[in-house]
Structure 1
Amino acid sequence: MKIFLSADHHRHDPPFEILDGQPVPYFETPRRVDIILAALQAAGFAPPVAAPPATLAELAAVHTPDYLDYLAHAYERWQAAGLAGPVLPSAWPLPGLRLRSDCPQAAAGRYAFDLSAPITAGTFAAAQASAGAALAGATALLQGERFAYALCRPPGHHAAANLAGGYCFLNNAALAADRLARATTTGDTTWALRAPAVAVLDIDYHHGNGTQSIFYERNDVLTVSLHADPAREYPYFLGYADERGAGAGEGYNLNLPLPAGIGDRDYLAALVQALQAIADYGPRYLVISAGFDTFHADPLGDFGLTTAAYRAIGAAIGQLGLPTLVVQEGGYAIENLGANVAALLDGVISHAHK
């Protein structure tokens, strides 16, 4: 399994976030990458390759130009306006309000939907590097690799075409899936932009609202997500079972909201349903948004999964027999994160359908 690393991830290290009305230390810390790397090395995985950062042109495949301009310049404009600390919104342009102001404070509310995506001096560089790792992983699959893992930080599945949130700025998994869906084979023979092409399976505790919204009207990318019920858990406003896609994408989005406290057995039963939907779609490639905040000790989740469950999840994914890119998303039980990642990846490659 080829492993791709976002080498500049450490440049994104906000001093705090606002969680449930309180300033708290930032959970999505650079230490997460160090712990994962140490665990992968101990488990005998190949050393990672530092991927080049994604270019603006590559990012524009799924993100709007105005949003990319905002991310690239938000911090310097914030500083130039005499504002202190990381960029965080204090007002949002909800329906009925006007989008006339272009001042830094207004832009922060226009392009973020929560208070857990602070922008610092190095955030955009880190996000570009993270996206570059995911794109490198997609390219590896196109070049014939069966498996790849993109150790992305910051994560991406909450980022929409023009919105940051949930620790996410650029949607790494969506960028990778889009590259796979639009890819060409040898010469000038184009096979993509037809269904089926790619499936994205999101196993993070939180629904990948950004990924869903990016592909909601497309049928060349099937999106499937197992996550905490948004009626009680973030992101609250997307992730319900009746969201099935729209237009050309109608029927190509599947949400499986799960109850609090779900354990290994019931989670794996739900995963069977998700994998059957993917098998029925018949994609050429599979992208996994791999979050580990489903672990029983995670401070931001209330599921009951064990490390053994991640190996079983990986095994079930591997048995699909698809070229698979695993993209790192959440997971905040720091001391267990590396073992959980290693278990998932080992399950994928050890039980792959021949």
Structure 2
Amino acid sequence: MQVVHSPLHARHDGGVELHRGELVPMYESPDRIDHILRAVQAAGMPVIEPREFGFEVLHAVHDPAFVEFLRTAYPRWQAEGRGGSMLPSGFPARSLRRDRVPEGINGMMGYYAFDAGTPIVAGTWDAAFAAARCALTAAALVSEGARAAYALCRPPGHHAARSVYGGYCYLNNAALAAQALRDAGCARVAVLDIDYHHGNGTQDIFWWREDVFFASLHGTPETEYPYFLGFADERGAGEGEGRTLNLPLPRGTQWPAYEGALDVALRAIDTFGADALVVSLGVDTFEGDPISSFALDASHFVAIGERMAALRLPTVLVQEGGYAVEEIGANVGAVLAAFA
């Protein structure tokens, strides 16, 4: 399996996040990728850099005005004499207007963000666009005949919606890969999100679509981030009715319950008749993850890889979360090796 990786991910560094009432260094740190990279190289998987794409390719799943905001946000911030991390201080919540995009960078940031845990720093755009190109390159490899390819993306992407960023995510790498597979001729594409946190951005992007099936296993939004999407009664709308499957699970979920939910998702994907699969590969379901609350161990990541491989679909695996840094390489490597 080829691994697509860009060293530009390291430019997104030095940010702080508001976590449970405190400003702390980001859990989503560059060393996460260093551990994964060492693991895939030790397994003998070839690592390549992403192909070049113009940023306009992002408009296939993101609003052009949102893309322009991300491209220019930090230079505008610097033009006002500021540095460090950009974090919003206000959001268009209930009773406030959402039909006007403020002209100032502070209001614009709050308009496009949905949390205060996703800073923009000097290198964020370079890293986010490089991650998107990794996903697009992996999708191209699969559309050209590879059985599978792994996009080692950082920052992650599944919380980024059509015109919203948050949850450490700026551009939706998995959605870009799925759309690229559709554009390359796959009539139906499934996205399976196994990150601990619900892929609210991917759900938003494909909510109305009949041709892309989205299935997510995640911590229940009753208690877990992102809180406001991911309930079982969310099933898509319009032509997309029934094309969304949410399988929320309680804190402390262990393998038997997780395995049952995974089997439900895999059967639904099989019934959908997908021509290709995109996996939002989060390993923050690991029992030692510092910001998640499931109880999977290393052996379970092997089983997850085997079960996904049993679908026998051309597959793009896209890296999402996983914040137990010392173990992340072994856990990702277990999924990839079992899949391959």
Structure-2-length-normalised TM-score: 0.97
> What CA deviation, in whole Å up to 9, does each residue of 1:150-207 have, x standing for no partner?
00000000000111100000000000001111224xxxxxx64xxxx10000000000
Identity within the alignment, %: 52
Contact 1:199/1:278 (8 A) holds in 2: yes
Change in CA separation of 1:152 and 1:95 when aligned onto 2, cut-off 3 Å: same
Give the match for residue 198 of structure 1: 189
> What CA deviation, in whole Å up to 9, does each residue of 1:26-80 have, x standing for no partner?
111111111001111222322x101035422110100111101100010111121
Give the match for residue 69 of structure 2: 70
> What CA deviation, in whole Å up to 9, does each residue of 1:86-136 have, x standing for no partner?
111001122332336310100110110001211111101110000000000
Distance 1:89 1:330 in 2: 22
What residue identity is the alignment partner of 2:121?
T
Corresponding residue pairs, total: 338
SS at match of 2:107: helix
Contact 1:14/1:118 (8 A) holds in 2: no
Distance 1:128 1:288 in 2: 19
Q: Which moved more, 1:57-66 or 1:97-106?
A: 97-106
> What CA deviation, in whole Å up to 9, does each residue of 1:224-274 have, x standing for no partner?
000000010000000000000000100000000011111122211211111
Distance 2:135 2:192 in 1: 15
SS at match of 1:256: strand
Contact 2:198/2:229 (8 A) holds in 1: yes
Equivalent of 1:239 in 207, 225, 230: 230
* Offset at residue 310 of structure 1 (A): 0.5
Change in CA separation of 1:177 and 1:115 when aligned onto 2, cut-off 3 Å: same
Contact 2:220/2:248 (8 A) holds in 1: yes
Contact 2:15/2:120 (8 A) holds in 1: no
Give the match for residue 177 of structure 2: 176
Q: Which moved more, 1:96-105 or 1:304-313?
A: 96-105
Q: Which moved more, 1:155-164 or 1:93-102?
A: 93-102
Give the match for residue 352 of structure 1: none
Give the match for residue 282 of structure 2: 291
Distance 1:257 1:211 in 2: 16
Distance 1:306 1:96 in 2: 44
Distance 1:174 1:308 in 2: 28
Give the match for residue 271 of structure 2: 280
Give the match for residue 304 of structure 1: 295
Distance 1:83 1:36 in 2: 34
Distance 2:38 2:102 in 1: 47
> What CA deviation, in whole Å up to 9, does each residue of 1:313-333 have, x standing for no partner?
000000111011110000000
Contact 1:3/1:150 (8 A) holds in 2: yes
Contact 2:6/2:131 (8 A) holds in 1: yes
Change in CA separation of 1:263 and 1:345 when aligned onto 2, cut-off 3 Å: same
What residue identity is the alignment partner of 1:75?
Y
**Which residues in structure 2 correspond to 1:185-334 (within 5 Å)?**
192=187, 197-334=188-325
Give the match for residue 167 of structure 2: 166
What residue identity is the alignment partner of 2:155?
P
**Which residues in structure 2 correspond to 1:52-71 (within 5 Å)?**
52-71=51-70
Give the gaps of 5 or more residues in structure 2. none
Give the gaps of 5 or more residues in structure 1. 185-190, 350-354
Give the match for residue 2 of structure 2: 2
What residue identity is the alignment partner of 2:49?
A
Distance 1:58 1:10 in 2: 23
Structure-1-length-normalised TM-score: 0.93
* Offset at residue 209 of structure 1 (A): 0.1
Contact 2:101/2:108 (8 A) holds in 1: no
What residue identity is the alignment partner of 2:198?
H
* Offset at residue 14 of structure 1 (A): 3.1
* Offset at residue 223 of structure 1 (A): 0.1
What residue identity is the alignment partner of 1:142?
S
* Offset at residue 84 of structure 1 (A): 3.8
Two-structure CA RMSD over aligned residues (Å): 1.1
Contact 2:158/2:200 (8 A) holds in 1: yes
Structure 1 runs of 4+ aligned residues shifted over 4 Å read none
Distance 1:182 1:145 in 2: 17
